[in-house]
Amino acid sequence: MYPAPHPTSSDRRHRARGFTLIEILLVIAVIAILASITFGVSQGIQGAQNRARAKSELAVLAQSIEQFKLRLGDFPWTRGSEVPEQVLLQALLGWKEFKRTGGTTTMEDLDRVPDAGPKGFIDTAQFLVSSADDPSKELSADNTTQPKGLVFIDPWGNPYVYEYRDTDRWENFGYVLYSTGPDGLHIPVDDSGVVTQDNRLLDENLDNIYPGE
């Protein structure tokens, strides 16, 4: 039998290089796995934070809507040609009032606006307020200019949905208010205004967030 040949320095270098390449690939794989885990965890944390913020903001909106009713006798109406979510913001900032002519009641802009601006029902400092048509639009700091085209925005960048007495067939004793959630999708309630279980279980509505939940 012949003795096994000793590896040359060239062979050792090739083996070292090959082993080093495998190590590098393993390290890259581990880093990729850790990065994906970290990203998933951070996404989960961010999602939970957004839901918590949406619930908090919905609670403030709901309380402010109740204050509007206590002072003016009913929740802000959304019947008419104006966008309901824009009506809600204007109403809670004090720019809307009920007008009764004969047997007809409507909700209209204030007839007389105090020099210091109307008395509102909500502090907008904790909310994101924006316009889908013109992002440059902003609220006046002192509420002396009527907000036009502005709405309350949820943590995912979509308007909070609001409806009340939107049609003559409205049967809901209260209003409809919710966030459309992470997907930004929703199918509104029908003309009765009643949020049924069937409506809530629609795929587009499964991640909606409602006040008090």
pLDDT of residue 213: 87
pLDDT of residue 51: 96
Q: How many CB atoms lie within 10 A of CB 59?
A: 12
Q: State which residues of the chain have pLDDT below 50.
A: none
pLDDT of residue 108: 94
pLDDT tens digits for 12-46? 555 555 567 777 777 787 777 877 777 666 667 88
pLDDT of residue 45: 80
pTM given for the model: 0.79
pLDDT of residue 34: 75
Token pair belonging to 55: 């619930």
pLDDT of residue 102: 87
pLDDT of residue 17: 52
